[in-house]
Amino acid sequence: MRLTGAQIVWESLVREGVETVFGISGGAVIHLYHALPDYPIHHVLTRHEQGAAHAADGYARATGRVGVCIATSGPGATNLVTGLATAYMDSSPVVAFTGQVATGVIGTDAFQEVDITAITLPVTKHNYLVTDVRELPTVIKEAFHIAGTGRPGPVLIDIAKDVQAAETDYVYPEGVYLPGYTLPEEDASEQIRQAAQMLNEAQRPVVIAGHGVVLAGVEDELLEFAEKSGIPIVTTLLGIGAMPETHQLCLGMTGMHGEACTNLALTEADLVVSLGSRFDDRITGPVGQFAPQARIIHVDIDPAEIDKNVPADLAVVGDLRDVLPALIPEIEKRDHPEWLARIQEWRDETAKRDIVGKETDDLLPQFVMRQIWHATQGDVIVVSDVGQNQMWEAQYFVHHRRRGLLSSGGLGTMGFALPAAIGAQLGCPDEQVWVTVGDGGFQMNIQELATVAQEKLPLKIAVLNNGYLGMVRQWQQLFFEARYSGTPLLGPDFAQVAKAYGITGLTVREKEQVGPAIAQAMDTDGPVLIDFCIVQEENVYPMVAPGAPVHDMIRRPDAADEQG
């Protein structure tokens, strides 16, 4: 059949199984929006293109499917960049469509022209500029294949305005031919056998479960592996949910604000196995002092990650969908009673020194997070923003379900949570979705409350409001002589802002109000925002100081008083 470029886009998306697209219209994509009503695709009008990119990202993280966003040329396209960089750093599959000026004026600095393919080259897995309508079906097929296979990531397709209006005979390819795009195909059986031998010989092994476990969907296999091998599991921030945190062998999150017991276990381990983790600097600290007694096994689908940060004694390049099922039969059924007993001592010490236990009338953020967990029993999707609120969520909300926590890890993008939660809720309409966000990050994309209201999404939004850019304030307190420069934050009455959008808004100032407010939110069919006015200068503990090894942690200074 003969179609315009605009029709080709939507017809191809339908064939890729796309049901939801996030975006904002504009002059360079007006042909696309003109054709859209003829196709069974739900368009979500965000209020900023960054929100569209984060929403597509949140949709992808919650569902495992490719998220799609769209923006016009110039400022519309550049507004996507932060969202694309966020998706790129966290290996999230997104396809972004942007409009471009007509082919005849590309390169003339035409109105709203930017070279968006050059701008996004460092933050996309691949990108395209389409100047011939006949290439469009193949480009779209390739983009979805690249975004969703191997190590996932964002792909951008920039389409000239006249290409959207041009016609051609439409044939959608059944497959792709990409000789320059290869996935791991080498036989890794020998490396898997060596890994099993190292695991069987280790006396103090630890596994780091990263985001790759979640992306591969091998949570069941990881649990089977852990229970057979008796090896304790620590997770990265984005690996939370890879193994139920209620399981005895799951020690929790490691790294700069991880559980102290996880950092101590890595420091004393004689073998560290990384599954789908890139050894981020927030996990390792100075590389020369990371796991100094351990041999390293690094399993990753991306060969570029091997030896990039931490040298590996054994590298296994492959998909965890293949590697873990092949590894499990090779390992011995073992227990590590002495090692686990030592770890339990650290866990008990962690509970005494770092977990807030003191009864107080103050409204503490840790208490708020625990109450949300108690009320929901963890059977929800939580989308957290970045900063102190993110760490308190990771520490005090006990995750036991797959894809139960969505957050910006690698880029640390404030403003991620609200639009990403919009995508997660639309991707998982039968799930309850909670947003946990600080007052600073919330104001960066607060306009997306309008999208929440327009789409009638039942999001539950918990604002941990301390009147500061909290994590930076904490650094200033601890390392910069408590000079709070550029961090005190004057915010609005968030409950009233929510009400202005037609959203139920609650303000909580007292500890006794927390439980009833959460219960009211859960009993309300529509969206609810709760403004928790928490203690202003509460800190996240433990904390690894910049440049310090991960075992050298700053602990809660009042812990002894609380326990006394």
Neighbour count for residue 326 (Cβ, 10 Å): 16
Residue pair 539/475 in contact (Cβ under 8 Å)? The answer is no
What pLDDT, in 10s, does the model give residues 23-46? 999 999 999 999 999 999 999 999
CA angle 558, 560, 561 (to 5 degrees): 65
What pLDDT, in 10s, does the model give residues 249-268? 999 999 999 999 999 999 99
Q: What gap in Å lies between CA 441 and CA 433, rounded to an integer?
A: 18
The structural domains of the chain, ordered by start, are: 2-169 (3.40.50.970), 189-348 (3.40.50.1220), 356-540 (3.40.50.970)
- Report residue 1 as tokens: 């059949």
Q: What gap in Å lies between CA 385 and CA 366, rounded to an integer?
A: 15
What is the structure's pLDDT at 560? 46
Q: What gap in Å lies between CA 435 and CA 419, rounded to an integer?
A: 10
Choice among 125, 141, 161, 460 that is catalytic: 161
Choice among 7, 16, 22, 49 that is catalytic: 49
Residue for token pair 């005895």? 248
Choice among 89, 369, 471, 553 that is catalytic: 471
What is the structure's pLDDT at 182? 85
What is the structure's pLDDT at 216? 96
Residue pair 399/365 in contact (Cβ under 8 Å)? The answer is no
What is the structure's pLDDT at 563? 38
111 noted as active-site residue: yes
What is the structure's pLDDT at 119? 98
Extract the residue ranges of the chain whose pLDDT is less than 50. Answer: 560-564
Of the candidates 471, 272, 457, 247, the residue with the CA atom closest to the CA atom of residue 347: 247
Q: What's this model's pTM, rounded to 2 decimal places?
A: 0.96
444 noted as active-site residue: no
Neighbour count for residue 33 (Cβ, 10 Å): 18
What is the structure's pLDDT at 186? 78
456 noted as active-site residue: no
Choice among 19, 112, 499, 562 that is catalytic: 112
Which residues does residue 144 pair with via DSSP β-bridges, in sequence order?
A: none
DSSP 187-229: --HHHHHHHHHHHHH-SSEEEEE-HHHHHHT-HHHHHHHHHHH
471 noted as active-site residue: yes
Which residues does residue 295 pair with via DSSP β-bridges, in sequence order?
A: 271
